[in-house]
Amino acid sequence: MLSRKKLTLPMLFVCLVTVGVAFSAPATSRPKTWSTNFEAALAASKQQDKPLLVHFYAPWCGPCRQMDAEVLKSAQLAKQVRGRVIAVKVDTDRRSDLVRRYGIESLPTDLMIDSNGKVMYRTAGYQSPGEYLAVVNRYYKRFDAAKQIRIAAKALAEEPPGKVSISDGLIAKTEPTERPSVTSVSEGATKTILGMEGYSPVSLWNGRKWVKGSKKFASVYKGITFYMASQAELDEFESEPLHYSPRLLGCDPVIMSQSDRAVAGSVRYGAYYGGELYMFVSDDNRKRFKAAPLSFSRTRHVIKTDQIEGTVLR
């Protein structure tokens, strides 16, 4: 056995190196968060319909180096943007054309650009990790909400009427007998919104069936006009309108929870939860609600009819 006294410095060095190799973690290839090819990143943004996050910097810029080390290389940012955002760094010393195109006047500067090439936001100067993550997350949610609206609008415009599943706690199945008409109703000088695309909320609640209402049995609740199928239904609705009308004035709770936007849901996608009707712009959002109903049903907003956007109610 080799004694400690005979362990020379060169041998000790060899031992330390050997131990270091033996106990070091194996190298793993992790996906890169940031690319450096702007054109390829822009093309990927359009192709994948994802926002483009652009960081303008220069090698000589002190705040740029600090932000790169503390923010851009953080595991938290990598986790947040991966799969959601296309991220690219631009060296302003090499890309004066992009500096001119986007009007970069100070460094570092960060932009988020939607898949159509429109600049959604711009920040200049050093951003702390918390500030940067919050801004990226907020504008990603806005982009995602707008994307969901586009997808839902396209589906409603192109697809024929299909089965509408109403989930109770989440359950009843039915289907409209005709394609819903999308109209608005005028009450004097005030323009109101036609709720539930003209289907009776009382018929839906009592029988879990989509039954077309009539203008003869109309009732306005919080600026939304609802049609009932009979005088008895009208009396029932007006005795307790909060009970029968959809939550959030029929706006999608998933979008509202994530982006504070009031986007009208569709009768094609509804869910009863806790005895209350929620409406969604897409089946994906209904599934997201069903997976975590408490987180979305607790959304509390004061909504006015002029804030409601979308293609279903207008």
70 and 182, same structural domain? no
Q: Does 200 map to a domain? A: yes
Catalytic residue, from 64, 67, 85, 152: name it. Answer: 64
Residue 143: count of CB within 10 angstroms of its CB: 21
- What is the pLDDT at residue 286? 87
Closest CA to 277 of 297, 261, 258: 297
Is residue 77 one of the residues assigned to a domain?
Answer: yes
pLDDT band at 21 (very low <50, low <70, confident <90, very high): very low
Q: Which is more confident, 62 or 313?
A: 62
CB 270 within 8 A of CB 253: no
pLDDT at 100 over 50: yes
Are 170 and 267 in the same domain?
yes
Within this chain, do residues 41 and 129 fall inside the same structural domain, yes or no? yes
- pLDDT tens for 233-267 read 999 999 889 888 898 888 888 888 877 778 888 88
User: DSSP states of 236-292 as a string?
Assistant: HHHHSHHHHSPGGGGB-HHHHHHH---BB-EEEEEEEETTEEEEESSHHHHHHHHHS
* CB of 263 closer than 8 Å to CB of 274: no
Q: Is 15 a catalytic residue?
A: no
**pLDDT score recorded for residue 103:** 94
Q: What is the pLDDT of residues 125-151, one digit of tens each?
A: 999 999 999 999 888 888 887 787 777
Question: Active-site residue among 54, 61, 196, 229?
Answer: 61
- What mean pLDDT comes out for the span 212-232? 91
Specify if 314 maps to a domain.
no
Amino acid at 132: Y
**What's the pLDDT at 200?**
92
Average pLDDT value for the chain: 76
Give the pair of three-digit tokens for residue 10. Answer: 């060169």
Q: How many domains does the chain have?
A: 2
Host domain of residue 41: 34-154
Assigned domain for 28 exists: no
* Region label for 274, one of left (φ > 0), alpha (ψ between -120 and 50) or beta (otherwise): left
Do 73 and 175 share a domain, yes or no? no
Final residue in a domain of this structure, among 122, 154, 186? 154
The answer to whether 251 is a known catalytic residue is no
197 pLDDT exceeds 80?
yes
What confidence score (pLDDT) does residue 14 get?
A: 32
Nearest 5°: phi and psi at 260?
A: 65, 25
Residue 170 scores a pLDDT above 50 = no
Domain assignment present for 5:
no
Q: In CATH, what number is assigned to the domain containing residue 93? A: 3.40.30.10
Instruction: Please indicate, yes or no, if residue 29 is contained in any of the structural domains.
Output: no
CA atoms of 30 and 186, how far apart (whole Å): 58
Residue 305 pLDDT more than 50? no
**Cβ neighbour number for residue 210 with a 10 Å cutoff:** 23
Whole-number Å distance between alpha carbons of 8 and 2: 11
